[in-house]
Amino acid sequence: MNTLTLNQQPVSSGFRVDVSRGERIGRVSSEWFSRPDDERYLNLTELYDTVRRRAERAHARTVESRAVRVEASRDDAERLSLIVPGRDEPISPTHWSFGQLCSLVSAPASYMRQLPAPLAGINLQHGLLSHRAELVKTLEAHDGRIELRAVTGPDYGRIWDHELVAAVMKIAGNGTGDTRWKVPGVLDWATMMHNPFVDVTKDTTTLYASDRDVFLFLVDDTHPIEAGRLPNGEPDLYFRGFYAWNSEVGSKTLGIASFYLRAVCQNRNLWGVEGFEEISIRHSKFAAQRFAHEVAPALTSFANSSPAPFVAGIKAARERVVARTDEDRESFLRKRGFSKPETTKIIETVLDEEGRKPESIFDFVQGITALARSKTNQDTRLDLEGKAKKLLDRAA
């Protein structure tokens, strides 16, 4: 089998892919759809500078919750501010931190936002005075006015957004092509060619940051990897990709997902995904240490790793024949928890797409992932994809 290695020269044009295989993952597409222009960045340097400046303007402290004073004016029914020990001037909560305050005192944020500020202030003050945890950690920032960006428990382990971006920059440079890791190209559905060479614009970028999080998606799509052949004899090409996310104000965990994929379309759906792996870390007391010892090294290891184990796993799955008769096929799937209708659908899908019934582990995996893509219920789809991944892992 002819396998492209990481040492070869990059492709100079687009390459044909078969996106009917593997999984479709919509996480990046969801981010792409939801981000306004001011949350989209054209390179990692610009993104890093923004989130680093934000961190430099911020100050974290731990205070007694009962010592926080809530102030509201009857003259402005929408304005509520806080007086925090150690700071004389009032602090304005953001939409996000107001929700965190409400959560800390077990008050429904949606209801509290509907109340006039004086009434909401009375409820918040009562909750803070009776807050059993006693201590809270605040994150305050000065940007024209003093804002409360976050309020969490005292053991919240903050990982700054710029720390994640810096870790990515160590392997990806500016993220636009000065290393092999870059913002992805685009699949042309008319020709089924993935074109790695697309200008990075607000419409195509996959580098995002809001006032509460960062999200980055990068690929190595100029160095495709051949892992076997398609039924028509053409190479089955993959490339590596990963996305990472974090929130320094507690809106989500920190995490990195790495995988191989065949294409990225215009709305940033990932097509033909194989070998999906994910690491996530809650912002608990020792989160920063775990980031330093687990996530950052894992990212560097994936970036510098050889595709040989992945290719070997695909080859093993292709070569491992587990069924030669219809009875074998049905028995193989039913023993692994598939219903009779699912079994029939999987076999029919492989027959339609490959021109023959499934025989190898790889054949069955492709049939199962194709069935998963047809499911609108996320839990059902994830369950099927999990079963496919277990089959592929056992074959490797």
pLDDT value of residue 191: 94
Give the integer Cα–Cα distance in Å for 161 and 245: 9
Residue 275: which H helix or E strand, with range? strand 270-281
The DSSP code sequence of 216-241 is: EEEE-TTS-EEEEE-TTS-EEEEEEE
Residue 54: band (very low, low, confident or very high) from pLDDT cuts 50, 70, 90? very high
Residue 1, domain member (yes or no): no
Same domain, 184 and 296: yes
Higher local confidence (pLDDT), 5 or 380? 380
Instruction: Choose between 78 and 11: higher pLDDT.
Output: 11
Minimum mean pLDDT range among 70-79, 181-190, 227-236: 70-79
Q: What's the domain count of the chain? A: 3
pLDDT tier, 181 (very low <50, low <70, confident <90, very high otherwise): very high
Nearest to 208 by CA among 172, 179, 183, 178: 183
Does residue 147 belong to any structural domain of this protein?
A: no
Domain end marker among 310, 329, 363: 310
Decide which of 310, 344, 379 is a domain's last residue.
310
**384 in a domain, yes or no?**
yes
> By three-state DSSP, how is residue 218 classified?
strand
For residues 299 and 256, is the Cβ–Cβ distance under 8 A?
Answer: yes
**Hey, what amino acid is at 170?**
K
Which structure tokens are listed for 258? 């790495």
Q: Are residues 173 and 24 in the same domain?
A: yes
Q: Are residues 274 and 174 in the same domain?
A: yes
**Mean pLDDT over residues 44-63, rounded?**
93
Give the pLDDT of residue 295.
78
Closest CA to 22 of 304, 317, 298, 223: 317
What is residue 187's predicted lDDT score, i.e. its pLDDT?
A: 96
Residues 34 and 104 in one domain: no
- The answer to whether the Cα torsion of 146, 148, 153, 155 is positive or negative is negative
Task: Give me the residues paired with residue 215 across strands.
Answer: 208, 245
The answer to whether residues 108 and 219 belong to one domain is no
- The reply to whether 120 and 84 lie within a common domain is yes
For the cut 60, the answer to whether the pLDDT of residue 1 exceeds it is: no
Does 4 fall in a domain? no
Residue 270 is assigned to a structural domain of this protein: yes
Query: Is it the case that residue 258 has pLDDT exceeding 50?
Result: yes
**Percent of the chain residues past pLDDT 70, beyond the cut:** 95
Mean pLDDT of the region 127-144: 82
Contact 175, 209 (CB under 8 A): no
Tell me what the mean pLDDT of segment 209-219 comes to: 95
Share of the chain above pLDDT 90, in %: 39
Q: Rounded mean pLDDT of the chain?
A: 87
Considering the domain architecture, whether residues 133 and 273 belong to the same structural domain is answered as no
CB-based burial, 88-102: b 16+ in 10 Å, e otherwise? eebbebbebbbbbbb
My answer on whether 380 and 334 are in the same domain is: yes
Residues 6+ apart with CB under 8 A from 238: 224, 225, 227, 260, 261, 262, 272, 274, 307, 310
What's the confidence (pLDDT) of residue 395?
Answer: 67
125 found inside a domain: yes
3-state secondary structure of 280: strand
Do 194 and 266 share a domain, yes or no?
Answer: yes
Q: Which amino acid is at 363?
A: D
CA–CA distance, 133 with 130 (Å, rounded to integer): 9
Q: Where in the sequence is the domain holding 86, given as residue range(s)? A: 58-142
Instruction: Kindly state whether residue 3 falls inside one of the protein's structural domains.
Output: no
- Where does the pLDDT of residue 7 fall: very low under 50, low under 70, confident under 90, or very high at 90 and above? very low
Looking at the predicted structure, is the pLDDT value of residue 302 above 70?
yes
* Domain shared by 41 and 77, yes or no: no
When pLDDT is cut at 50, 70 and 90, the band that residue 76 belongs to is low
Shared domain for 65 and 189, answered yes or no, is: no
Q: Is pLDDT at 93 greater than 80 in this prediction?
A: yes
117 and 211 in a single domain? The answer is no
pLDDT at 167: 92
Question: Is 355 or 101 the better-scoring residue by pLDDT?
Answer: 101
The pLDDT assigned to 241 comes to 95
Q: What's the CA gap between 351 and 354, in Å, rounded?
A: 5
Q: Is the pLDDT of residue 259 over 70?
A: yes
Asked, for residue 269, whether it belongs to a domain, the answer is yes
Amino acid at 244: A
Q: Which of 277, 310, 343 is the last residue of a domain?
A: 310
- The stretch 94-102 carries a mean pLDDT of 91
Confidence of residue 374 (pLDDT cuts 50, 70, 90): confident
